[in-house]
């Protein structure tokens, strides 16, 4: 695969390893959610590289029913900014609270970055919308089960009833499990190439408006909006709970 020139902007912005050969663990441990973006455009080749990295992730049943909308048009971004700013204001008013971990100063900086992103959303150089559609698969599963009484008997009546009750949950989580690994790949690729990005899901509070602006069919589910650009500031170590606090051995 041809090498992509990440440009001087990325090399200056990040005092951490940058480039296609950056160590993966170093990339992961410095992949902060970067919300402050310069307005400079991101080359199409780099955006294609991000989506290509997303497609390297697996998908349930190897169906590969992912879709990615890459938005760079200024008018489209302005229309999306109107929705995003309304969602951001609603979220901060209705749901915002300081996490139990971290300091008040860290929370203040995060909030300031969130507000900066909303205020400057129309200037976002690129936005990638991650979508997934299982299509006819759930209906095909139901039809196949009806034609396979032996499989139902082997699975057991109680399990089968539970599965039928939870089939929508099964489908929704299968879609999520098929798109979010790709989103993570995309974020890792962006970080390794010196690009700032962060995964957002707030748009789901107004998904219909986003889909209308972008012409997304009603059957398609959007799972993330990912603003992408050159960072204002530099990458640094992520802050997370100690691993010993989250591991349960053998049972909860």
Q: What's the rounded Cα separation, in Å, for the pair 174 and 113?
A: 32
> Where are the strands (E) in the chain, listed by range?
66-71, 126-132, 196-197, 221-229
Question: Which residues are within 8 A (CB) of 107 and not within 5 positions of it... i.e. 6 or more apart?
Answer: 98, 99
β-bridge partners, 43:
none
> Where are the strands (E) in 62-157, listed by range?
66-71, 126-132
Question: Which residues are within 8 A (CB) of 100 and not within 5 positions of it... i.e. 6 or more apart?
Answer: none
Asked if the structure places residue 95 within a domain, the reply is yes
Q: Between residues 104 and 82, which one has the greater pLDDT?
A: 82
As a whole-number percent, the residues of the chain with pLDDT over 90 amount to 58
- Pick from 5-14, 21-30, 102-111, 226-235: least confident: 5-14
Asked if the structure places residue 188 within a domain, the reply is yes
| Other Cβ atoms closer than 10 A to 225 | 26
* pLDDT of res. 4: 54
| Other Cβ atoms closer than 10 A to 191 | 25
Which pLDDT band, with edges at 50, 70 and 90, does 37 fall under?
very high
* pLDDT of res. 173: 85
Which pLDDT band, with edges at 50, 70 and 90, does 6 fall under?
low
- Closest residue by Cα to residue 27 from 189, 173, 228: 189
Q: What's the rounded Cα separation, in Å, for the pair 67 and 46?
A: 17
The CATH number of the domain holding residue 115 is 3.40.109.10
Asked if the structure places residue 210 within a domain, the reply is yes
* pLDDT of res. 233: 87
Q: What's the rounded Cα separation, in Å, for the pair 61 and 178?
A: 9
- Closest residue by Cα to residue 221 from 184, 168, 185: 168
- Pick from 42-56, 101-115, 209-223: least confident: 101-115
Asked if the structure places residue 64 within a domain, the reply is yes
Which pLDDT band, with edges at 50, 70 and 90, does 137 fall under?
low
* pLDDT of res. 139: 63
Asked if the structure places residue 47 within a domain, the reply is yes
Is 224:199 a contact under the CB 8 Å cutoff? yes
Please tell me whether residue 236 adopts helix, strand or coil conformation: coil
Q: What's the rounded Cα separation, in Å, for the pair 252 and 250?
A: 7
Does an H or E element contain 13, and which? helix 7-13
For residue 187, the enclosing domain spans: 32-134+172-230
Residue 160 has pLDDT above 90, yes or no: no
Asked if the structure places residue 191 within a domain, the reply is yes
Asked if the structure places residue 243 within a domain, the reply is no
Q: Tell me what the pLDDT averaged over the chain comes to.
A: 87
- Closest residue by Cα to residue 77 from 147, 22, 125: 125
pLDDT in tens, 174-213: 899 999 999 999 999 999 999 999 999 999 999 999 999 9
The conformation of residue 177, written as its DSSP 8-state character, comes to H
Asked if the structure places residue 88 within a domain, the reply is yes
Q: What is the mean pLDDT of residues 23-39?
A: 92
- Pick from 148-152, 179-183, 241-245: least confident: 148-152
pLDDT in tens, 95-110: 888 878 878 888 888 8
- Closest residue by Cα to residue 36 from 127, 123, 97: 123
Count of domains for the chain:
1
């Amino acid at each position: 695969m041809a090498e992509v020139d990440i440009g001087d902007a990325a090399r200056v912005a990040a005092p951490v390893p940058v480039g296609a050969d950056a160590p993966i663990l170093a990339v992961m441990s410095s992949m902060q959610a970067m919300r402050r973006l310069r307005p400079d455009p991101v080359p199409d080749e780099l955006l294609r590289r991000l989506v290509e990295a997303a497609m390297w992730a697996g998908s349930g049943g190897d169906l590969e029913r992912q879709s990615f909308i890459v938005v760079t048009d200024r008018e489209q971004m302005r229309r999306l900014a109107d929705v995003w700013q309304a969602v951001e204001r609603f979220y901060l008013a209705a749901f915002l609270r300081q996490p139990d971990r971290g300091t008040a100063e860290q929370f203040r900086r995060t909030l300031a970055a969130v507000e900066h992103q909303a205020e400057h959303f129309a200037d976002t150089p690129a936005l990638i919308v991650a979508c997934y559609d299982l299509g006819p698969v759930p209906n095909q599963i139901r039809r196949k089960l009806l034609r396979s009484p032996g499989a139902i008997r082997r699975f057991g009546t109680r399990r089968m009833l539970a599965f039928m009750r939870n089939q929508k949950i099964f489908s929704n989580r299968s879609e999520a499990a098929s798109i979010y690994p790709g989103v993570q790949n995309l974020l890792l690729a962006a970080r390794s190439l010196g690009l700032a990005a962060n995964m957002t899901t707030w748009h789901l509070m107004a998904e219909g408006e986003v889909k209308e602006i972008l012409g997304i069919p009603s059957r398609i589910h959007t799972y993330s909006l990912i603003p992408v650009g050159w960072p204002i500031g530099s990458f640094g170590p992520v802050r997370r709970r100690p691993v010993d606090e989250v591991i349960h051995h053998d049972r909860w």
